[in-house]
Amino acid sequence: MSERKVDELYFSASSLRTYRTCQLKFKRRYIDGLFWPDDWVKDKEKKETQRLGQLFHTLAERYYLRGKVVDSKEVIEDKVVKWLERLVDFRPYNEEDQFLPEHRLQFNNQGLKLLAKYDLLHITQDNRVVIYDWKTYRSNSKKSFLKRSMQTIVYRYLLARAGGDYSQTGEWAAEDITLIYWNPRFPDDSKELPYTKEQYARDEDKIKNIIEQIKETNFAVDEDVLATSEKNNCLSCEYRPICHGEPALEIEPKEEDLELMEDWDEIDPISF
Ligand code: SF4
């Protein structure tokens, strides 16, 4: 049963990262479907941070869909109005380029099944593509961390491998792709990560290797599913009550965790 279910999964950056962090956590979320994305953040301030982040993502999506700010500033909190103004300054819309906000990409090729949802794909007239990812938490991630993150690995690789339909030539060279992380709280501190074919080859190996490990894990046998030995991983884990009989600490969740469960059925597959 479990094996069949694993074969059905499309892997996202979050699911691959979860497996590497703790196989038991992966099993609970993706195999057993034990999932409650909001409830483990109970602290009011953190919930508010999360809500403002989601609102910003929605407003940014509307801005790039319509090509102008359409939401009345009177009904939006001042803080988010300011974030939106900073966004318009940072990455203004124009008619000549192509802007694809909240864009989902799904790939299935010989058992390699991947998916990602991009905050924004910006395709320029000179046929380059920039992936934008909005971060809205109170601290800005370090570039060294972002470079190694599973999100960076999956986002750039998947676009290079399966996003050729958006290119004038039908394919992207790795060097055509750049990923930019940007947080409206720190408008002058964007993190730009260009891509190379060497990184592409390395990312492919890494992704295939993790997926192979996942497929070799027998999730039906408890002994085969390793729980993390790093206790810090458990502190803010939503399954802490089950594993350790203690509530999860009120630690701010990573933004990637907000998209833990993609609705696989809603994504239009790309055929190969
Ligand atoms: S509490 Fe710890 S061991 Fe249990 S699922 Fe979470 S990370 Fe894994």
pLDDT of residue 270: 36
Ligand 1 atom closest to the CA of 21, numbered from 1 = 7
What is the tens place of the pLDDT at every residue in 87-129? 999 999 999 999 999 999 999 998 899 999 999 999 999 999 9
Contact predicate 28/115, CB 8 Å: no
* Of 2 and 156, the one with more pLDDT: 156
The domain segmentation of the chain, as residue ranges, is: 2-266
243 Cβ inside 6 Å of ligand 1: yes
Distance CA 269, CA 272 (A): 10
pLDDT band, residue 262 (cuts 50/70/90): very low
The rounded Å distance from CA 266 to ligand 1 centre is 29
pTM exceeding 0.85: yes
pLDDT band, residue 39 (cuts 50/70/90): low
Average pLDDT, the chain: 87
Distance CA 73, CA 81 (A): 6
Was domain 2-266 assigned CATH 3.40.50.1110?
no
Q: Which of 33-42, 174-183, 227-236 has the lowest mean pLDDT?
A: 33-42
Give, for ligand 1, the residue of 36, 240, 254 to mutate: max count of ligand atoms closer than 8 Å to Cβ.
Answer: 240
Ligand 1 atom closest to the CA of 25, numbered from 1 = 5
What is the tens place of the pLDDT at every residue in 49-81? 888 999 999 999 999 999 998 877 777 889 999
